[in-house]
């Protein structure tokens, strides 16, 4: 089968492309602004990429066009497909029908932590010799790729996004996956461009809960009130809770290890370098889900000790003149605060310089502008990149006082960071996009400063 993917450089669609290619299909694709790391990964796999959405791509004559949710009506190629009544399908539906149909699917859903938890779960299964397939919205460093087929394994781990499927299918992506094991990490309002309120997202999560079989398992954050409301609407699947005494818990020991327990029964000690309570919760969820798939808890704990975090999750990009530069994907106030607090716990009194690009659709709309300042208070200095914002960042962040500097020029922003930082500082760059290549530019500027 020849498939042509519209919006191929998104993390999900790029993963679909990689899996389709591994399955033996011919894969081509297009996107606006073909960009790394996904473009690099796809080119290494021999997948031809086309810049833009020219109608002439109809001439490729694929068996089906696979349409990403970045594509909307008015897209020139999509209009040509519709006008000629050519076959098209969404990415999640193609994946469901061609890959997941005969798999034991382990899906990881939630507002935060999906990528990290999916990576942990896939690694535990792989380290146990189960060779799962996976599709993850980032690149787990234990694997070096974001997706693989796992054709000889019955198991498939997928990051289950609540974002809409396509312009012609407004259900959340995750309802297509028909999982047997589900992790519900947490649930907050997000994606204001898609959902009108939190209740609308809770409704979609309940649609996911409704399709998990009674021989499956739902692993849920026992502290999360939104998830409790979702489950209260009806659940016919066994539950295991994370973060509560009647479920899975993790406590830090004096020696630095993390004691894992289930229903107050000790399961083992985890020794690793990941920071923060959120990662401990992620680990508990992954251990629970892996146990459901047949991996003993102690084996899972040993695997997590060898887990390498996902790229762009507190990833150290370089150290110059004693200044450490990190890259993180945080783009929601809760994630920003959690990430900063995790770094604070690591560096103690070290000086933290937070650099934020409010880039997600929800951020650009100003949905979080009232709570953003509060999420940044842990930092000693804050720099905000204000280009293309639809709201006044200076006004919204003024409560940070002398901590905050706002810049709409990337060059001026980098110059200001270089002027401010000194040896011993920790510069945490947060964005869900490329941020104009700021990481390498900043490191180079620090070298010559």
CATH node for 315-448: 3.90.190.20
**Architecture, CATH, for domain 102-304:** 3-Layer(aba) Sandwich (3.40)
Q: Token match 């004693």: residue?
A: 322
pLDDT digits over 392-422, tens only? 888 889 999 999 999 999 999 999 999 999 9
Residue 432 has a pLDDT of 82
List, as own/partner pairs, every contact residues 32-36 make where C-beta atoms lie below 8 angstroms and the sequence separation is at least 24, other chains included.
Answer: 33/9, 34/9, 35/9, 35/434
Starting from the edge strand earliest in sequence, which strands make up the sheet with 323-328, in order?
315-320, 323-328, 426-430, 352-356, 381-385, 404-407
| Helical H segments across 221-296, by residue range | 225-232, 277-292
Distance CA 174, CA 195 (A): 15
Where in 88-224 does DSSP place strands (E)? 88-90, 104-109, 133-135, 147-148, 155-159, 164-166, 169-172, 181-184, 217-221
pLDDT digits over 122-143, tens only? 999 999 999 999 999 888 889 9
Residue 35 has a pLDDT of 63
Q: DSSP code of 309?
A: P
pLDDT digits over 274-327, tens only? 878 889 999 999 999 999 999 999 999 999 999 987 777 778 899 999 999 999
Distance CA 334, CA 339 (A): 9
Going by C-alpha positions, the residue among 61, 72, 63, 65 that lies closest to residue 30 is: 65
Output the CA–CA distances (angstroms, integers) from residue 89 to 79, 80, 110, 141, 303, in the order listed. 14, 15, 25, 31, 38
Residue 187 has a pLDDT of 92
Q: Where are the domains of the chain?
A: 2-91, 102-304, 315-448
71 pLDDT tier (thresholds 50, 70, 90): very high
Residue 36 has a pLDDT of 66
Q: In the predicted model, what is the mean pLDDT of residues 202-214? A: 96
Output the CA–CA distances (angstroms, integers) from residue 96 to 5, 31, 103, 311, 355, in the order listed. 16, 23, 10, 27, 39
Does residue 251 have a cis bond before it (omega within 30 degrees)?
no
* Average pLDDT of every residue of the chain: 92
Burial classification of residue 267, based on how many CB atoms lie within 10 Å of its CB (0-12 exposed, 13-18 middle, 19 or more buried): buried
Residue 87 has a pLDDT of 98
Q: In the predicted model, what is the mean pLDDT of residues 97-102? A: 94
37 pLDDT tier (thresholds 50, 70, 90): low
Percentage of residues in the chain having pLDDT higher than 70: 99
42 pLDDT tier (thresholds 50, 70, 90): confident
CB-CB contact of 385 with 439 (8 Å):
no
Residue 332 has a pLDDT of 83
CA dihedral 14, 16, 22, 23 (to 10 degrees): -160
Residue 406 has a pLDDT of 92
**What are the structure tokens assigned to 173, written together?**
């992506």
pLDDT digits over 218-227, tens only? 999 999 999 9
Distance CA 30, CA 42 (A): 11
Say if residue 41's pLDDT is above 80: no
252 pLDDT tier (thresholds 50, 70, 90): confident
Q: Token match 């804050």: residue?
A: 382
pLDDT digits over 338-380, tens only? 889 888 988 888 999 999 998 877 777 777 788 888 999 999 9
Distance CA 245, CA 249 (A): 7
CA dihedral 113, 115, 116, 122 (to 10 degrees): 130
Q: Answer left, alpha or beta for residue 165, where phi above 0 means left and psi between -120 and 50 means alpha.
A: alpha
Percentage of residues in the chain having pLDDT higher than 90: 72
Q: Name the pTM for this structure.
A: 0.81
| Helical H segments across 96-236, by residue range | 114-127, 198-210, 225-232
CATH node for 2-91: 3.40.50.720
27 pLDDT tier (thresholds 50, 70, 90): very high
């Amino acid at each position: 089968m020849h498939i042509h993917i519209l919006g191929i450089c998104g993390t999900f669609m790029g993963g679909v492309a990689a899996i389709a290619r591994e399955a033996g299909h011919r894969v081509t694709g297009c996107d606006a602004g073909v960009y790394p790391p996904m473009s690099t990964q796809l080119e290494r796999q021999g997948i031809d990429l086309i810049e833009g959405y020219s109608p002439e791509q109809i001439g490729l004559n694929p068996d089906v066009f696979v349409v990403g949710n970045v594509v909307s009506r008015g897209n020139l190629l999509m209009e040509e497909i519709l006008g000629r009544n050519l076959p098209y399908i969404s990415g999640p539906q193609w994946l469901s029908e061609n890959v997941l149909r005969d798999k034991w699917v382990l899906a990881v859903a939630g507002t935060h932590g999906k990528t990290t938890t999916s990576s942990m779960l896939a690694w535990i299964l792989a380290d146990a010799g189960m060779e799962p397939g996976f599709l993850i919205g980032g690149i787990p460093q234990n694997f070096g790729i974001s997706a693989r087929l796992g054709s000889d394994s019955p198991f498939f781990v997928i990051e289950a996004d609540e974002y809409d499927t396509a312009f012609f299918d407004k259900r959340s992506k995750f309802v297509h996956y028909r999982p047997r094991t589900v992790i519900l990490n947490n649930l907050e309002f997000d994606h204001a461009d898609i959902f009108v309120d939190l209740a609308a997202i809770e409704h979609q999560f309940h649609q996911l809960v409704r399709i998990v079989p009674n021989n499956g398992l739902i692993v849920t954050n026992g502290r999360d009130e939104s998830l409790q409301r979702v489950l209260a609407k009806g659940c016919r699947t066994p539950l295991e809770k994370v973060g509560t005494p009647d479920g899975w818990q993790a406590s830090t020991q004096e020696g630095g290890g993390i004691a894992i327990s289930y229903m107050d029964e000790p399961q083992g000690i985890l020794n690793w370098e990941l920071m923060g309570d959120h990662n401990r919760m992620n680990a508990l969820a992954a251990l629970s889900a892996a146990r459901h798939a047949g991996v003993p808890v102690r084996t899972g704990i040993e695997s997590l000790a060898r887990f390498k975090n996902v790229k762009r999750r507190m990833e150290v990009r370089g150290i110059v003149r004693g200044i450490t530069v990190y890259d993180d994907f945080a783009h929601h106030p809760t994630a920003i605060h959690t990430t900063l607090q995790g770094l604070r716990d690591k560096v103690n009194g070290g000086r933290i310089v937070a650099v934020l690009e409010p880039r997600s659709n929800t951020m650009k709309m100003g949905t979080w502008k009232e709570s953003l300042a509060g999420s940044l208070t842990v930092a000693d200095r804050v720099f905000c990149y204000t280009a293309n914002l639809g709201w006044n960042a200076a006004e919204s962040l003024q409560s940070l006082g002398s901590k905050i500097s706002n810049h709409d020029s990337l060059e001026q922003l980098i110059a200001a960071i270089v002027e401010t930082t000194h040896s011993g500082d920790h510069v945490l760059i947060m964005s869900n996009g490329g941020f104009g290549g700021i990481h390498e530019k900043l490191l180079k500027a620090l070298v010559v400063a």
